[in-house]
Structure 1
Amino acid sequence: MLALVHGKQLAGHKAVVVGAAVSGVAAARLLTALGARVRLLDRNPDALKPGVREQLEAGGIELALGPHRKADFKDAQMVVLSPGVPVARLSSFLEACPDAQVMGELELASWFTQEPILAVTGTNGKTTTTTLIGHILESAGRKVFVGGNIGTPLSEHVLSDERADVVVLEVSSFQLQNVKSFHPRVGVLLNFSANHLDYHADEEEYLAAKLNLFARMTDNDLAVLPLGMKELLQARDFTRARRVYFTPSSRFREHNLPGEHNRSNMEAAWLACKAFGVTDEQAAAAVATFQPLPHRIQKLGEKGGVLFVDDSKATTVEAMRAAIESFDRPVRLLAGGVFKGGDLEGLVPLLKQKVAQVGLFGANREIFEKAWAGQVPLFWEPALEGAVTRLYRESSPGDVILLSPATASFDLYADYKARGKDFARIMARLPEDREVRQ
C-alpha cells in the first residue's frame, strides 16, 4: 500500500473522491491544491448546485456524475470517501485500484492540520457540546475553528489562510469508522446508545467506530468519557490517553440549557476546555451567555396556555427520553419518521409518568404502535400538521406539545431542520382562542 503522509507526496497522484456534497467537494479542492489529479464521483447526476460544477471543472477537477463504474476507480492511488459512504458499498469498484489508500475527508484534512484538535463524538448532544466548547474557548480569548460534521469541513479550514489556537470538531461514526491516523489532542465521548443501525452492521460496529476517535491518542492526550460507561470502557483496550470521567453536574448555576443531559454536556465541555487552560470563572461566564441551538428542545412559545417545543434534532430514542425528562408539565408527544433503531419499549415507564398523549405521524407507525399501543393514548396522522392540530385541539392549558420524533426525517422532509421549521409554521397558524380550537 502506498504511504501518503505529506502534501509533497501527493503531487501528481491520482485521487478519487466519492460523494459530491460539502465534504467531498472540500476534499477534492484540497487534493487539487496539493497537486493531485482528482476525479469527483457522485451517483446523483444532479448532486452539484448550479455554478459549482463549472467552478470545479475550471479548477482542474474531473467530474463523473451518475452510476459508478469500475473505470472511474482504475489506477487510483487514493480514494477519499464522504461521510455516509460505506466502504462495503464500493467493494466491487475498489477492485480496480487494489493498492489505493482508502480514507475519509476528515482523516485527509487532519494530516495538514497544524493546530491541536479537540474532537467530540457521541450518539446525542454532539452539536450542542461542540458549539458550547467553541463558545467557551472563544470567550476565554482563544482563536477557534469549529466545524467537521457541523458547518464547515476541516478541509476548508486547511485551505484557508486562517489559523486557530484550537480546532474543535464534531465527528460522527460515519467519519470515524475507517480512520487510521486521526489524532486529536482531546477527545470527548458524550454518550452511547443504539443508532444508525441502518448503516452499521450492529451496535458493536457502531461503538467501535465511536471509539476509533481515541485509537491514535497517546498518554499526553486526554479522553473525556461518561462515567456511566466506565465499566464497559475499562474492559476495552481502545486508547493510551489519560482518562477523565464526567457525570451531570451543577457546576454551572447560570445557563440556558434545559435537562439532565445538558448538565452532562456542560461538564464534558468544561473538562475539555480545561485542558486548554480555561479557568472556572471563564467557563462559567461563557456558559451563562450560551443560547440553545435551534431544533434542540427549543421553546417556540405558547398558544392558548400550551407550550410548543421543537426538538426535531432528536433522531434517537435516547434523545427523545432526554427531552421528555426535561419537563414537569404534561407532555403531548409528536413522534414518527424513519426509525433507526433503539428500545422504544424501554420508554414505556417514562411515557406513563409524563406523557398524556402521543401523536404519531409519517413512516414507521407500526414500530411505535407495537411498542406503545395500550400503554399510552396514541393516534396516527399521515402528516405532521394533522398530528399537531389534533394534539392542540385535545390539549389543556399547562401542557407541552413536544416534537421529539426519535427518527430521521427523510420520509417527509429533507432534514430535521425542515421538519422543525414546518412545526413552527404549523404552530404559528393555530388559533389562540381555545374555544375556536375546540
Structure 2
Amino acid sequence: MDRTVGIFQSLKIFENRQAVVVGAGVSGLAACRFLLSLGARVRLVDAKPDLSPGVLQKVHADPASVGLTLEAGPHTPAQFADAHLVVLSPGVPVKKLAPVLADVDPARVVAEMEFASWFLTEPVIAITGTNGKTTTTTLVGRILESAGLSVFVGGNIGTPLCDYLMAERAADVLVIEISSFQLQNCRSFAPRVAALLNFSANHLDYHADMEEYLQAKLQLFARQDHGCTAVVPESMRAELVARGFTKARVEGFAAEDTDFDCPGLPGAHNRENIAAAWRMVRPFGVTEAQARKAVAEFHALAHRIEPVGETNGVLFVNDSKATTLDSVCAAVKSFGRPVRLLLGGVFKGGDVASMLPTLTGRVASIGLFGAAREVFEPVLAPHFPVSWDQTLEAAVRRQFGQAKPGDVILLSPATASFDAYSSYTERGRDFVRVAQAIASEHGGGR
C-alpha cells in the first residue's frame, strides 16, 4: 500500500496553524518534520539553554524557509500563547509545564504518539508495562513477520510514529512501545491490541503515587471497544476487570501458559513476555507453529546493539563491537529514549567532535573508562555531563546510579579493547556480567 504525505496535506487541517513541539529529542524532531509536511508553522522549544540551533538542520535543510524556529531555555507562557496544538516529546514532565500551559486548552496538548495516531488507519499493537517492554515489542514484531506480515516496530523505541507516517509504504501491523508519560496525554488512542506486561513501583518521582502511575498505564485500554483485545497479567485480571478498565475482550497470561522453546530469552519473566506476545499476535491469524518458530529463533546479535537486561526500568545494551565513531552514532540513533553512553579504550582515530550533532538531544550523560580519556573528555565535557572511571564496571555502576527509569545504559565504546581486554567480545561479556550483577542486587531485574 503506497503512502504519500500528500494524503495528509490534502486534509489542510494544520495549514498555516501554529504548532509548538516541546523537546528536541528524536520524537520531538519527528513531530516537527510531520507537522511541517502538513503545512504548519512549527516552534520547537526545549528547556536546555545550551541547545545548538544546528538541531533544526535535523528537521529541514533550510528551517527558516518552512517556518521552523527554535527557542531554547526555560519555558514561558508566551511560547504557547498562539498554539493551535502543543505536541509533547516522551518524558517531558507535564506537571512542570502546567504553569506555562495555564491558558492553553488541555485538549490541544497531546503526546507525540497520540498526535501521530490521529493519522493511522493500520491496526496497532501497543505495549506498556514497568519492565520488559522493549524485548516484548521486538519479539511481537518478529512473530508477525514470520507469519508473512509487513510490520513496523517503534514508538518509544527506534523510529517514532511521526516518522513512520512520512514513509512511502504502510505496514500491515504496527507494534509500538508506549510509556506512562506518553499515556497521560493520550485521549483518543485506541489500539486494536493493548498489553500491560507487568506493574510495579516505578516513576514515583514523576507520579504522585502508585495509583496515579497505574491509572496512567490503564489509559492505554480506556478507548478500546468490543472488537479490541486487552492483554494483561492473569494475576491482575480480576482487579482490572472489576475496575471496568476497558470494553475490550480481556485475555490474561502467565509464565506457565506456554511451553515455547526460546533459548535466547531465559528466565521466568521472559516466559511471561512470551505468553503475552502469543496472545497479542493471535488476533492477526498467526498460527502456533509460526509463533513457535519465531520465538525459538529470537535472539539479539551478541555485542551489536544487544539488549542484555533491564533493571528498575533501565535498559542495558551491549554494543562492544562499536570500535569507531560512526558506529557509536549509529547505535545512539537506535533509541528514542535517553542514552547514558559508555566510551573508552584504545582510540583508533577520527574527529570526536563529528559525533556532537548526533549525541546532542539523545545522550543524557557520558561515562568514560580506561584509556582514551584525554581524547574524549576535552571535546565532550563542554556539552554533556562526563565522568571517568578506571574500569568498565565502575563506569557502569556510576551511570546506573544516575539513570532514571526509561534510560538506556549503552556500551558503545568507539575504541579497540586492548587496554584492558583481549577482544571486544571479552569486553562485551564483562559488561553483561556487570549488568547481571546489578540486576541481582536489585531483585532480579527484567
Shift of 1:255: 3.5
Q: Aligned match of 1:257 in 257, 265, 271? A: 265
Task: Give 1:158's aligned amino acid.
Answer: L
Q: Which residues of 2 match residues 427-438 of structure 1 at below 5 A?
A: 429=420
Contact 2:29 2:59 (8 Å CA) reproduced: no
Please show how residues 291-310 of structure 1 align to structure 2 within 5 Å.
Answer: 291-292=299-300
What's the offset of the Cα at 1:9?
2.4
Q: Deviations over 1:297-348 (max 9, x none)?
A: x79xxxxxxxxxx53x32349x99xxxxxxxxxxxxxxxxxxxxxxxxxxxx
> Which residue is equivalent to 1:28?
32
Structure 1 unmatched ranges of 5 or more: 1-5, 300-309, 321-361, 363-381, 390-402, 433-438
1:146 aligns with 2:150: no
Which of 299, 312, 322 aligns to 1:315? It is 312
SS at match of 1:284: helix
Kept in 2: contact 1:227–1:245 (CA 8 A): yes
Does the 8 Å CA contact 1:77/1:100 hold for their aligned counterparts? no
Please say if 1:235 is aligned against 2:242.
yes
Q: Name the SS of the counterpart of 1:9 in structure 2.
A: coil
Structure 1 residue 218 corresponds to structure 2 residue 232: no
Partner SS, residue 36 of structure 2: helix
Q: Would the aligned equivalents of 2:53 and 2:70 in 1 still touch at CA under 8 Å?
A: no
**CA shift for structure 1 position 72:** 1.2
Decide whether aligned partners of structure 1 residues 388 and 53 sit closer, same or farther in structure 2, where only a CA change above 3 A counts.
closer
1:185-204 paired onto structure 2 within 5 Å: 185-204=192-211
Pair 1:239–1:295, CA change in 2 (3 A): farther
Deviations 1:29-84 (A, max 9, x none): 21221222221111123166554276344432122122222221112121111111
Deviates more, 1:49-58 or 1:276-285: 49-58
Aligned to 1:275, the other structure's residue is in SS state helix
CA distance in 2 between counterparts of 1:197 and 1:22 reads 24
Calculate the TM-score normalised by the size of structure 1: 0.69
| SS of equivalent to 1:119 | strand
- Whether the aligned pair in 1 keeps the contact of 2:128 and 2:177 (CA below 8 Å) is yes
1:11 pairs, out of 15, 39, 44, with 15
For residue 262 of structure 1, give the secondary structure of its aligned residue in structure 2. helix
Counterpart CA distance in 1 for 2:390 and 2:234 is: 40
In the other structure, the counterpart of 2:292 is 284
User: In the alignment, residue 314 of structure 1 is paired with which amino acid?
Assistant: T
2:40 alignment partner AA: A
Q: Distance in 2 between matches of 1:385 and 1:108?
A: 45
Q: Which amino acid aligns with 1:83?
A: P
1:409·1:416 contact (CA, 8 Å) conserved in 2?
no
Determine the structure 2 residue equivalent to 1:303. Answer: none
Cα distance in 2 between the residues matched to 1:281 and 1:417? 35
Structure 1 segment 58-77 matched on structure 2, within 5 A: 58-77=65-84
Partner of 2:325: none
> Is residue 206 of structure 1 aligned with residue 213 of structure 2?
yes
Counterpart in 2 of 1:40?
Answer: 44
CA distance in 2, matches of 1:181, 1:117: 13
Residue equivalent to 1:94: 101
1:257–1:292 CA contact under 8 A, matched in 2: no
- AA aligned to 1:36 is A
- Which structure's CA Rg is the greater one? 1
Among 268, 277, 295, the residue aligned to 1:269: 277
Counterpart Cα distance in 2 of 1:263 and 1:52: 40
Q: 1:7 to 1:175 in 2, by over 3 A?
A: farther
Share of identical aligned residues, percent?
A: 49
- State TM-score, norm by structure 2: 0.68
Aligned to 1:417: 409
2:88 to 81, 87, 99: 81
Residues 88-132 of structure 1: CA deviation (Å, up to 9, x unaligned): 212221134347611110000000011001101000000000000
Residue aligned with 1:218, SS: coil
**Aligned residue identity for 2:73:** G
Q: Does the CA-based 8 Å contact 1:222-1:241 persist in structure 2?
A: yes
The SS at the match of 2:292 is: helix
Q: Tell me the C-alpha RMSD between the 2 structures.
A: 3.6
Letter in structure 2 aligned against 1:46: L
In structure 2, the CA distance between the partners of 1:210 and 1:408, relative to structure 1 (3 Å rule), is farther
Indicate how the Cα distance of structure 1 residues 237 and 288 shifts in structure 2: closer, same or farther if over 3 A, else same: same
**In 2, distance between residues paired with 1:122 and 1:385?**
36
For the structure 1 residues 53 and 141, does the alpha-carbon distance in structure 2 shift closer, same or farther, using more than 3 Å as the test?
A: closer
Deviates more, 1:9-18 or 1:214-223: 9-18
1:248 aligns to 2:252 (yes or no)? no
**2:130–2:197 contact (8 Å) kept in structure 1:** yes
Report how far residue 188 of structure 1 moved: 0.8
- Residue 87 of structure 1 and its aligned partner are, at CA, apart by 2.2
- CA distance, structure 1, for counterparts of residue 313 and residue 153 of structure 2: 24
SS of 2:90's equivalent? coil
